[in-house]
Amino acid sequence: MAKRAARKERTHALIIEEAARSMRLHGTRGVGLSVLMKRVGRTHGGFYAHFASRDELVAAAIERMFEATTKLIDRYLVTGDPARGLFDFIDHYLSDAVRRHPERSCPIPSLSPEASRMTGLARERFSAGIDIVHTAIAKSLRAMGLDDPESLAQSVLFEMAGAMTLARVAVEEGRGAELLRVARDQVKQRLGLDALGQE
Amino acid sequence: MAKRAARKERTHALIIEEAARSMRLHGTRGVGLSVLMKRVGRTHGGFYAHFASRDELVAAAIERMFEATTKLIDRYLVTGDPARGLFDFIDHYLSDAVRRHPERSCPIPSLSPEASRMTGLARERFSAGIDIVHTAIAKSLRAMGLDDPESLAQSVLFEMAGAMTLARVAVEEGRGAELLRVARDQVKQRLGLDALGQE
DNA sequence: TGTACATCAGTGAACGCGCGTTCACTGATGTAC
DNA sequence: TGTACATCAGTGAACGCGCGTTCACTGATGTAC
């Protein structure tokens, strides 16, 4: 049977899921365990049947966040035409939907400065997550035959991360969406991808 | 005389200064009023002779942080040759010293995601601060005769903000400095500034 | 299949702690005459 | 210049609150025979 084990596993996954969600939205310090466990439908004392400490949860949540980003990479950057894939990846990564929903988007634009203040496993996982994105972009650029794909990929990732971060800060209505449009155009243009948009 | 007023003014400035320092280092939520007032050499109850609330201090500190950035802009981007000024601005903004000392650097790479979660004055000031940097870069690009300086300036600011943020996350020794070198080269290259480096 | 006991995910109350904020008080500074 | 009173930046203790963590307990699930 293992009915108990199955329920525990489900609870465990739900806690991580909810942490990944609300920490991207409010920052890693922005959610209390009490609220979090209530959202999962459990009482907050039960948390310690799953994690030894809050820090351990943060590390688990970061891992979970990058799994979502990895899925995105798999969708756009692993198979198919590299130029077309990268074009679509950029459109997705810098979409207005992503701007409005950090809770289900790549953690890099929402949590990087916090990550730079972390230590141990959480920090390492975040850093490793960034490397995964960089490597995937570099691979596409190399397949496209571009010069120095490693450096160019870094540059592109910097711009995309910065663009989403700053687009989220904009207060004026429509300004965030406008900044993202600029970023998409600029990134595509310098990768020679702008012609693809006219098909 | 106004000896009392002078002392109050000094204390007020010290509180903002220390807040601007430690909030860039640890995040706006990363410093308590008690520790902060101790660093200023006062007891923490005295805080409320200067600010109505902690939020008010955050707004004041953000204003202070951008004053430092504005000074940087004045130094590099207002007078003199625009290309040379921008070249030096990029070198400074993306220097390894800045990476190692967020406490005395531009708040954009260290606090933007937090800013996107703020409301009211603090949020508006942060957003206005970003605009100041963007406008200054755009002005230089226009003076250099580049196409669509507004969009290009956004793109460059995105990349610089993202580069510094991610360089600070890197764990491996020397990796952060390396990422910044890449970013400086890439930004200069796409602005046609790389030739200036050989003088 | 039925009974007796063991396990352990989850409950819910309590813990100490640091937080932002309040407040009665102090004593140096400032004002009035 | 001297005296009496007012001001108020700063003190230091206390406040309620939410935090992460602990713990005695429960009762459904699992195991042994």
Contact check, Cβ <8 Å, A27/B117:
yes
Question: What pLDDT does B196 receive?
Answer: 87
- How many Å does it take to go from CA A153 to C1' D9? 55
Distances A161 to A56, B2, B90, B156 between C-alpha atoms, Å: 26, 50, 18, 12
Q: Give the chain A residue whose CA is nearest to the CA of B107.
A: A113
Contact check, Cβ <8 Å, A169/B30:
no
Question: What count of CB pairs under 8 Å joins A to B?
Answer: 134
Question: What pLDDT does A4 receive?
Answer: 87
Chain A residues within an 8 Å CB radius of B161: 162, 165-166
Q: Using the CA of A56, which nucleotide's C1' is the nearest one?
A: D20
Question: What pLDDT does B142 receive?
Answer: 98
Chain A residues within an 8 Å CB radius of B27: 27, 29, 113-114, 117
- How many Å does it take to go from CA A6 to C1' D29? 11
pTM for this model (two decimals): 0.96
Q: Report d(CA A99, CA B51) in Å as an integer.
A: 33
The tens digit of pLDDT for each residue in A52-77 reads 999 999 999 999 999 999 999 999 99
Question: What pLDDT does A50 receive?
Answer: 98
Contact positions of strand D to protein Cβ (< 7 A): 8-14, 18-24, 28-31
Nearest to A183 among B158, B168, B169 (CB): B158
The rounded radius of gyration (Å) of the Cα atoms in chain B is 19
The tens digit of pLDDT for each residue in A67-105 reads 999 999 999 999 999 999 999 999 999 999 999 999 999
Residues near strand C (C-beta below 7 A) are: A 4-5, 7-8, 10-12, 37, 42-46, 49-50; B 1-5, 31-35, 44-45, 47-48, 53-55
Q: Using the CA of B41, which nucleotide's C1' is the nearest one?
A: D10
Chain B residues within an 8 Å CB radius of A130: 166, 169
Question: What pLDDT does B198 receive?
Answer: 63
- Which residues of chain B are modeled with pLDDT < 70? 1, 198-199
Structure tokens at B180: 């910044």
Q: Give the chain A residue whose CA is nearest to the CA of B164.
A: A158
For chain A of 199 residues, list the mean pLDDT of each consecutive stretch of 10.
Answer: 88 98 98 97 97 98 97 97 98 98 98 97 98 98 97 98 98 97 98 82
Question: What pLDDT does B19 receive?
Answer: 98
Contacts of B168-176 with C-beta under 8 Å, sequence gap 24+, read B168/A112, B168/A113, B168/A116, B168/B99, B168/B102, B168/B109, B168/B110, B169/A112, B169/A115, B169/A116, B169/A123, B169/A126, B169/A127, B169/A130, B170/A127, B171/A123, B171/A124, B171/A127, B172/A127, B176/B96, B176/B99
